[in-house]
Amino acid sequence: AVIDTGIDYNHPDLQNNVWSNPGEIPGDGIDNDGNGVIDDVHGYNAFSDNGDPMDGQGHGTHCAGTIGAVGNNGVGVVGVNQNANIMAVKIFNDEGSTDAAAIVRGVQYATKMGARITSNSWGGPRPNSAIREAFEQSPSALHLVAAGNSGYNNDWLPSFPANYALDNIVAVAATDHNDELASFSQYGKKNVDLGAPGVDILSTVPGGKYATYSGTSMATPHVSGAATLIASQNPDITNEELRARLEQGTDQVAALDGKTASGGRLNVHKALTMELS
Protein backbone atom coordinates (compact mmCIF):
# COMPACT_ATOMS: atom_id res chain seq x y z
CA ALA A 1 0.00 0.00 0.00
CA VAL A 2 1.22 3.49 -0.85
CA ILE A 3 0.01 5.69 2.02
CA ASP A 4 0.44 9.12 0.44
CA THR A 5 -1.37 11.64 -1.81
CA GLY A 6 -3.13 8.89 -3.76
CA ILE A 7 -2.24 7.26 -7.08
CA ASP A 8 -3.18 8.04 -10.66
CA TYR A 9 -4.46 4.51 -11.15
CA ASN A 10 -5.10 5.20 -14.85
CA HIS A 11 -1.43 5.98 -15.57
CA PRO A 12 -0.29 3.71 -18.44
CA ASP A 13 2.80 2.67 -16.49
CA LEU A 14 0.81 1.78 -13.36
CA GLN A 15 -2.70 0.66 -14.26
CA ASN A 16 -1.81 -3.01 -14.71
CA ASN A 17 -0.19 -3.14 -11.28
CA VAL A 18 -2.79 -1.24 -9.27
CA TRP A 19 -4.65 -3.31 -6.68
CA SER A 20 -8.30 -4.06 -7.32
CA ASN A 21 -10.53 -4.87 -4.39
CA PRO A 22 -11.93 -8.35 -5.12
CA GLY A 23 -14.92 -7.77 -2.85
CA GLU A 24 -16.15 -4.57 -4.48
CA ILE A 25 -18.36 -4.11 -7.58
CA PRO A 26 -17.25 -0.91 -9.34
CA GLY A 27 -19.70 1.94 -9.57
CA ASP A 28 -22.76 0.39 -7.95
CA GLY A 29 -22.79 2.79 -4.99
CA ILE A 30 -22.83 -0.12 -2.51
CA ASP A 31 -20.31 -1.16 0.12
CA ASN A 32 -20.21 -4.69 -1.24
CA ASP A 33 -17.50 -6.05 1.05
CA GLY A 34 -18.86 -4.35 4.18
CA ASN A 35 -15.60 -2.64 5.10
CA GLY A 36 -17.23 0.75 5.60
CA VAL A 37 -16.16 2.28 2.28
CA ILE A 38 -18.33 2.45 -0.85
CA ASP A 39 -16.73 1.60 -4.21
CA ASP A 40 -13.17 1.36 -2.88
CA VAL A 41 -12.11 -0.41 -6.05
CA HIS A 42 -8.43 0.62 -6.04
CA GLY A 43 -8.04 1.81 -2.46
CA TYR A 44 -9.24 4.46 -0.06
CA ASN A 45 -9.31 8.23 0.25
CA ALA A 46 -8.78 8.46 4.01
CA PHE A 47 -8.73 12.27 3.98
CA SER A 48 -12.21 12.59 2.46
CA ASP A 49 -13.37 9.17 3.71
CA ASN A 50 -14.48 7.81 0.36
CA GLY A 51 -13.48 5.18 -2.19
CA ASP A 52 -11.62 7.40 -4.67
CA PRO A 53 -7.87 7.68 -3.98
CA MET A 54 -7.04 9.45 -7.28
CA ASP A 55 -3.89 11.56 -6.96
CA GLY A 56 -4.32 15.22 -7.89
CA GLN A 57 -0.98 16.29 -6.41
CA GLY A 58 1.66 13.93 -7.84
CA HIS A 59 3.75 12.78 -4.91
CA GLY A 60 2.03 9.43 -4.36
CA THR A 61 2.01 8.55 -8.05
CA HIS A 62 5.75 9.23 -8.19
CA CYS A 63 6.34 6.92 -5.24
CA ALA A 64 4.11 4.23 -6.77
CA GLY A 65 6.07 4.28 -10.01
CA THR A 66 9.33 3.64 -8.18
CA ILE A 67 7.74 0.68 -6.43
CA GLY A 68 5.96 -0.91 -9.35
CA ALA A 69 5.91 0.81 -12.74
CA VAL A 70 5.37 -1.87 -15.38
CA GLY A 71 8.41 -3.03 -17.36
CA ASN A 72 8.74 -4.14 -20.98
CA ASN A 73 5.78 -2.04 -22.09
CA GLY A 74 7.69 0.44 -24.26
CA VAL A 75 6.91 3.49 -22.14
CA GLY A 76 8.33 5.42 -19.24
CA VAL A 77 10.16 3.81 -16.36
CA VAL A 78 10.44 0.45 -14.61
CA GLY A 79 9.67 -0.03 -10.92
CA VAL A 80 11.67 -2.14 -8.50
CA ASN A 81 8.92 -4.78 -8.64
CA GLN A 82 7.40 -4.94 -12.13
CA ASN A 83 4.64 -7.22 -10.85
CA ALA A 84 3.68 -5.28 -7.73
CA ASN A 85 0.08 -5.10 -6.56
CA ILE A 86 -0.23 -1.48 -5.40
CA MET A 87 -3.06 -0.36 -3.12
CA ALA A 88 -3.70 3.39 -3.10
CA VAL A 89 -4.34 4.93 0.31
CA LYS A 90 -4.77 8.69 0.12
CA ILE A 91 -4.11 10.52 3.40
CA PHE A 92 -3.55 14.03 1.96
CA ASN A 93 -5.82 16.35 0.04
CA ASP A 94 -4.61 17.70 -3.30
CA GLU A 95 -3.11 20.76 -1.59
CA GLY A 96 -0.87 18.51 0.52
CA SER A 97 -2.69 18.92 3.86
CA THR A 98 -3.68 16.18 6.26
CA ASP A 99 -4.43 15.51 9.91
CA ALA A 100 -3.84 12.69 12.37
CA ALA A 101 -7.33 11.24 11.95
CA ALA A 102 -6.85 10.80 8.19
CA ILE A 103 -3.47 9.15 8.72
CA VAL A 104 -4.91 6.75 11.29
CA ARG A 105 -7.81 5.87 8.97
CA GLY A 106 -5.34 5.24 6.16
CA VAL A 107 -3.07 2.93 8.15
CA GLN A 108 -6.07 1.08 9.55
CA TYR A 109 -7.56 0.60 6.07
CA ALA A 110 -4.29 -0.81 4.70
CA THR A 111 -4.13 -3.17 7.66
CA LYS A 112 -7.77 -4.27 7.35
CA MET A 113 -7.43 -4.92 3.62
CA GLY A 114 -4.33 -7.07 4.03
CA ALA A 115 -1.44 -4.90 2.85
CA ARG A 116 1.85 -6.76 3.46
CA ILE A 117 4.08 -3.72 2.86
CA THR A 118 3.24 -0.04 3.28
CA SER A 119 5.29 2.83 1.86
CA ASN A 120 5.10 6.04 3.86
CA SER A 121 6.85 9.04 2.30
CA TRP A 122 5.64 11.57 4.86
CA GLY A 123 6.43 12.68 8.39
CA GLY A 124 7.06 15.49 10.81
CA PRO A 125 8.57 16.47 14.16
CA ARG A 126 5.55 15.92 16.39
CA PRO A 127 4.62 12.48 17.72
CA ASN A 128 1.02 11.34 17.83
CA SER A 129 -0.09 8.48 20.04
CA ALA A 130 -2.99 7.47 17.78
CA ILE A 131 -0.76 7.23 14.70
CA ARG A 132 1.81 5.23 16.65
CA GLU A 133 -0.93 2.90 17.87
CA ALA A 134 -2.22 2.42 14.30
CA PHE A 135 1.23 1.22 13.21
CA GLU A 136 1.65 -0.88 16.34
CA GLN A 137 -1.70 -2.57 15.73
CA SER A 138 -0.63 -3.51 12.21
CA PRO A 139 1.75 -6.38 13.04
CA SER A 140 1.16 -8.27 9.79
CA ALA A 141 2.68 -5.47 7.70
CA LEU A 142 6.16 -4.01 7.45
CA HIS A 143 6.01 -0.22 7.20
CA LEU A 144 8.74 1.59 5.27
CA VAL A 145 8.98 5.25 6.24
CA ALA A 146 10.97 8.28 5.14
CA ALA A 147 13.68 9.61 7.47
CA GLY A 148 12.89 13.23 6.55
CA ASN A 149 14.40 16.00 4.43
CA SER A 150 15.73 18.56 6.93
CA GLY A 151 19.30 17.26 7.07
CA TYR A 152 19.52 16.62 10.81
CA ASN A 153 20.26 13.64 13.04
CA ASN A 154 17.04 11.89 14.08
CA ASP A 155 18.82 10.49 17.13
CA TRP A 156 19.11 14.05 18.45
CA LEU A 157 15.90 15.58 17.12
CA PRO A 158 13.16 13.03 16.47
CA SER A 159 11.04 12.74 13.35
CA PHE A 160 7.87 10.67 13.07
CA PRO A 161 6.92 8.03 12.09
CA ALA A 162 10.64 7.25 11.63
CA ASN A 163 11.36 7.51 15.37
CA TYR A 164 8.53 5.32 16.61
CA ALA A 165 10.38 2.46 18.30
CA LEU A 166 8.37 -0.31 16.64
CA ASP A 167 9.70 -3.55 15.19
CA ASN A 168 7.54 -3.21 12.08
CA ILE A 169 8.88 0.24 11.05
CA VAL A 170 11.99 0.64 8.86
CA ALA A 171 13.27 4.19 8.29
CA VAL A 172 15.07 5.14 5.06
CA ALA A 173 17.67 7.83 4.30
CA ALA A 174 18.43 9.14 0.79
CA THR A 175 21.67 8.70 -1.14
CA ASP A 176 22.84 10.09 -4.47
CA HIS A 177 24.47 8.47 -7.51
CA ASN A 178 27.90 8.73 -5.84
CA ASP A 179 26.72 6.80 -2.77
CA GLU A 180 26.93 9.96 -0.70
CA LEU A 181 24.26 10.85 1.84
CA ALA A 182 21.96 13.38 0.17
CA SER A 183 22.53 16.88 1.54
CA PHE A 184 18.88 17.13 2.64
CA SER A 185 18.56 13.63 4.12
CA GLN A 186 17.99 13.09 7.80
CA TYR A 187 19.94 10.23 9.34
CA GLY A 188 20.58 8.53 12.68
CA LYS A 189 22.49 5.44 13.71
CA LYS A 190 19.73 4.45 16.15
CA ASN A 191 16.61 5.57 14.30
CA VAL A 192 17.35 5.31 10.56
CA ASP A 193 17.94 1.85 9.20
CA LEU A 194 19.42 2.10 5.70
CA GLY A 195 19.88 4.34 2.70
CA ALA A 196 18.48 4.11 -0.84
CA PRO A 197 18.62 6.27 -3.98
CA GLY A 198 16.68 9.49 -3.48
CA VAL A 199 18.26 12.17 -5.68
CA ASP A 200 17.02 13.00 -9.20
CA ILE A 201 14.67 10.01 -9.36
CA LEU A 202 12.61 9.76 -12.55
CA SER A 203 9.15 8.29 -12.04
CA THR A 204 5.46 8.53 -12.89
CA VAL A 205 3.24 11.54 -12.19
CA PRO A 206 -0.48 12.06 -12.89
CA GLY A 207 -1.79 12.43 -16.41
CA GLY A 208 0.44 9.77 -17.92
CA LYS A 209 3.51 11.93 -17.41
CA TYR A 210 6.95 11.56 -15.78
CA ALA A 211 9.06 13.84 -13.60
CA THR A 212 12.28 13.88 -11.60
CA TYR A 213 11.98 14.38 -7.83
CA SER A 214 14.43 14.21 -4.93
CA GLY A 215 13.82 13.34 -1.27
CA THR A 216 13.76 10.61 1.30
CA SER A 217 10.26 10.27 -0.16
CA MET A 218 11.92 8.88 -3.29
CA ALA A 219 14.31 6.63 -1.35
CA THR A 220 11.56 4.96 0.68
CA PRO A 221 9.68 3.38 -2.26
CA HIS A 222 12.92 1.82 -3.53
CA VAL A 223 13.07 -0.11 -0.25
CA SER A 224 9.31 -0.75 -0.32
CA GLY A 225 9.64 -2.27 -3.77
CA ALA A 226 12.50 -4.46 -2.59
CA ALA A 227 10.45 -5.57 0.41
CA THR A 228 7.57 -6.63 -1.86
CA LEU A 229 9.96 -8.70 -3.98
CA ILE A 230 11.36 -10.45 -0.92
CA ALA A 231 7.90 -11.09 0.52
CA SER A 232 6.60 -12.47 -2.78
CA GLN A 233 9.58 -14.82 -3.00
CA ASN A 234 9.16 -15.85 0.64
CA PRO A 235 5.41 -15.75 1.42
CA ASP A 236 5.86 -16.93 5.03
CA ILE A 237 8.67 -14.52 5.88
CA THR A 238 8.33 -12.68 9.19
CA ASN A 239 8.81 -8.96 9.56
CA GLU A 240 11.97 -9.68 11.55
CA GLU A 241 13.41 -11.77 8.73
CA LEU A 242 12.31 -9.28 6.09
CA ARG A 243 13.89 -6.40 7.98
CA ALA A 244 17.10 -8.43 8.40
CA ARG A 245 17.30 -9.07 4.65
CA LEU A 246 16.87 -5.39 3.85
CA GLU A 247 19.49 -4.29 6.39
CA GLN A 248 22.03 -7.11 6.08
CA GLY A 249 21.67 -7.09 2.31
CA THR A 250 22.96 -3.53 1.96
CA ASP A 251 26.22 -2.48 0.35
CA GLN A 252 28.34 -0.88 3.03
CA VAL A 253 29.20 2.69 2.03
CA ALA A 254 31.40 5.16 3.89
CA ALA A 255 28.85 7.97 3.82
CA LEU A 256 26.35 5.88 5.82
CA ASP A 257 28.81 4.53 8.38
CA GLY A 258 27.56 5.79 11.72
CA LYS A 259 24.64 7.50 10.00
CA THR A 260 22.31 4.48 9.71
CA ALA A 261 21.87 1.30 11.75
CA SER A 262 23.03 -0.88 8.85
CA GLY A 263 25.73 1.46 7.56
CA GLY A 264 24.62 0.58 4.06
CA ARG A 265 22.68 1.40 0.91
CA LEU A 266 19.98 -0.92 -0.43
CA ASN A 267 21.12 -3.76 -2.71
CA VAL A 268 17.98 -5.51 -3.95
CA HIS A 269 19.69 -8.56 -5.45
CA LYS A 270 21.74 -9.16 -2.33
CA ALA A 271 18.70 -8.78 -0.07
CA LEU A 272 16.84 -11.34 -2.19
CA THR A 273 19.61 -13.96 -2.39
CA MET A 274 21.76 -13.70 0.75
CA GLU A 275 21.96 -16.25 3.54
CA LEU A 276 20.84 -14.55 6.75
CA SER A 277 23.32 -14.53 9.61
Catalytic residue positions, numbered: 4, 59, 217
Report the C-alpha gap between 8 and 6 in whole angstroms: 7
Q: What DSSP assignment string belongs to the chain?
A: -EEES---TT-TTTGGGB---TT--TTSSS-TT-SS-TT-SSEEETTTTBS----SSSHHHHHHHHHHPPSSSSSS---SSTT--B-EEE-S-TTS---HHHHHHHHHHHHHTT-SEEEE---BSS--HHHHHHHHT-TTSEEEEE--SS--BTTTS--BTTT---TTEEEEEEE-TTSPBPTT--B-TTT--EEEE-SSEEEEETTTEEEEE-SHHHHHHHHHHHHHHHHHHSTT--HHHHHHHHHHTSEE-GGGTTTSSS-EE--HHHHHHPPP-
Report the C-alpha gap between 46 and 60 in whole angstroms: 14
- Residue from 181, 149, 187, 143 nearest 165 by CA: 143
